[in-house]
Each structure stands twice: as C-alpha cells, then as structure tokens.
Amino acid sequence: MTSTNPEASPLSRRVVLRGGLGAAGALLLAACTGRSGSAAAPSSTAADGATSTTGDATSATTAPTAPPAAAASTTAAAPTALVPTPTCDDGDEATPEQTEGPYFTPDSPLKANLAADVSTGTPLHLTGNVVRTDCTPVAGALVDFWHADDAGEYDNRGYRLRGHQFTNDAATYVLDTVVPGIYTGRTRHIHVKVQASGGEVLTTQLYFPGEPGNASDGIYREECEMTLATAADGSQVGTFTFVLA
Ligand SMILES: [Fe+2]
C-alpha cells in the first residue's frame, strides 16, 4: 500500500442529485446520480496510476468483456412483452464517473459470487438495477466489480474479489461478496464498471453510509452511497441503482 492516496484524480463534472429505485424485495435502492463523462474509456488512469506499483493502470483503459449478443436478443424477441420499468425518481441524471484507481484488472471472469474467493470478511449481499436516465431498465448490462479484501489488499495478480456479470431481463444484478477493508488514503469503497450492450463504459465507485472515512476522502460522493442494512446474521444487505447516461 502506498502512503498517499493512490486513487486521487480529477473527476468528471458533477451534478448532485439522488435517485431512488424499488428493486426486487422490499429494499430501496440508492441511485448515484450526476452526469457522466462522454468518453467511453476512463480518462483519469494516468493520474490514478501515478503511485501504483502494480502496472495495472497502463492497461486500465481496456474495456471490460463486451456483453454477449445473446443477452440483448433475449429482450428484443417479444416487443409486446415489455420489461417492467422500475420506479425511478430522478432518472434524468446519470451516475457520475469516478476514477477507476490503479487496481483495475481487465478481463475479469464471469462471477457474481466474490465471497467464495475469500475465507474472511463480513458477507455483503448487494442487489440493484441498471437503468437509463429515463428510468427504463437495461437488461444484459455488464456490471464488473472489484474491491479490496477485508484487510484492504487488492489481488493484483489474479481475480480474487473481481468478477463481472450481466443484468437479467429485469435489469437486476446480484453480487455476493464481503465488505472491503480500508487502505491508506481511501474510505471504504467498491469499484465497478457498468456498460450497456454497445454503450459507453461507466466507471464509478460505491460507498458505505456512515463510514467514518467518507468525510475526509476527496473522491467520495454521497450520491454513490449504497443503501445498507444489517441482517440478523450480521451480514450486510445493500442496494444500489446505476443510471446510465
Ligand atoms: Fe480502490
């Protein structure tokens, strides 16, 4: 770990708004809103990687695995059977771009259960939807997560706690992982890239409400906070809606 913030970088323009979305179950979704940048590839990788010793930043502009054509075709087969549009309060603003940081690794495996990668850490069950700014759901969207383990360490050689998935026909993703640890210079966070089939890549981060380090983290955005609750077994249950521009 570096002693300085390895992920500090200029951010895209910001619009402060919060959106909400009803998801499967009774959980509310916290929508991270704002206008994303226009470039498909993250433009802040050079700055992000300035303190990295991993070398990942040099390849960080590589887009994640493209969504399969099959995913799109499943939603286009029956034009009369529309996918229900999730509730969306502030669908006119997209989730803001956030730096990908120096620890992104392209070509992550298809994997929604990252918790199986590790033997320690508080379980985190995160669900949500991917929608457009008009609140229409985006089925078959790529959602690529990566984050540190509970000790604040990234796996920069393999794909531990790294994996991508595609939203189902209801535009829902489901991630099982563990609560990431904190490392120097950053508050607790989860990295993610989201991409509609053939669309631009949204690179952003998710944050934990009530985290002490949020206030002092220059990258942190309140709009990117998950909605979190603690289950009876002590695990965390979170929701978040991604809004694509
Ligand atoms: Fe990070």
Amino acid (1-letter code) at residue 215: A
**How far is 84 from 170, CA to CA, in rounded Å?**
7
CA atoms within 13 A on the CB side of 56: 22
3-state DSSP assignment of residue 38: coil
- Asked whether residue 180 carries a pLDDT value surpassing 50, the answer given is yes
- Asked whether residue 136 carries a pLDDT value surpassing 50, the answer given is yes
Q: In angstroms, what is the span from residue 177 Cα to ligand 1's centroid?
A: 15
Could you say which of 3.30.70.2740, 2.60.40.10, 1.10.1050.10, 2.60.130.10 is the CATH number of the domain covering 18-74+85-244? 2.60.130.10
Domain map (residue ranges) of the chain: 18-74+85-244
pLDDT per residue over 83-125, tens digit each?
Answer: 555 556 655 689 999 999 999 999 999 999 999 999 999 999 9
| pLDDT of res. 172 | 98
Q: In angstroms, what is the span from residue 24 Cα to ligand 1's centroid?
A: 28
Q: In angstroms, what is the span from residue 7 Cα to ligand 1's centroid?
A: 7
- Asked whether residue 235 carries a pLDDT value surpassing 90, the answer given is yes
Cβ neighbours, 10 Å, residue 199 = 16
User: 120 or 37: which carries more pLDDT confidence?
Assistant: 120
Q: In angstroms, what is the span from residue 147 Cα to ligand 1's centroid?
A: 6
User: 60 or 114: which carries more pLDDT confidence?
Assistant: 114
Question: Three-class SS string for 108-154?
Answer: CCECCECHHHCCCCCEEEEEEEEEECCCCECCCCEEEEECCCCCCCC
**87 φ, ψ (degrees, to nearest 5):** -60, 135
Q: In angstroms, what is the span from residue 22 Cα to ligand 1's centroid?
A: 28
What tokens does 21 get?
Answer: 């979305």
- Asked whether residue 173 carries a pLDDT value surpassing 60, the answer given is yes
Q: In angstroms, what is the span from residue 187 Cα to ligand 1's centroid?
A: 9
Q: In angstroms, what is the span from residue 52 Cα to ligand 1's centroid?
A: 11
- Asked whether residue 49 carries a pLDDT value surpassing 50, the answer given is no
Q: In angstroms, what is the span from residue 101 Cα to ligand 1's centroid?
A: 6
Per-residue confidence band for 130, with pLDDT thresholds at 50, 70 and 90: very high
**How far is 237 from 89, CA to CA, in rounded Å?**
22
Per-residue confidence band for 72, with pLDDT thresholds at 50, 70 and 90: very low
User: 60 or 199: which carries more pLDDT confidence?
Assistant: 199
Q: In angstroms, what is the span from residue 148 Cα to ligand 1's centroid?
A: 7
| pLDDT of res. 92 | 64
The arithmetic mean of pLDDT across residues 21-25, rounded, is: 37
| Spatial CA neighbour of 177 closest among 242, 104, 126 | 126
Q: In angstroms, what is the span from residue 66 Cα to ligand 1's centroid?
A: 23
Q: In angstroms, what is the span from residue 235 Cα to ligand 1's centroid?
A: 22
Q: In angstroms, what is the span from residue 70 Cα to ligand 1's centroid?
A: 32
Q: In angstroms, what is the span from residue 33 Cα to ligand 1's centroid?
A: 20
**How far is 242 from 30, CA to CA, in rounded Å?**
9
- Asked whether residue 48 carries a pLDDT value surpassing 80, the answer given is no
Q: In angstroms, what is the span from residue 108 Cα to ligand 1's centroid?
A: 16
Mean pLDDT of all residues in the chain? 76
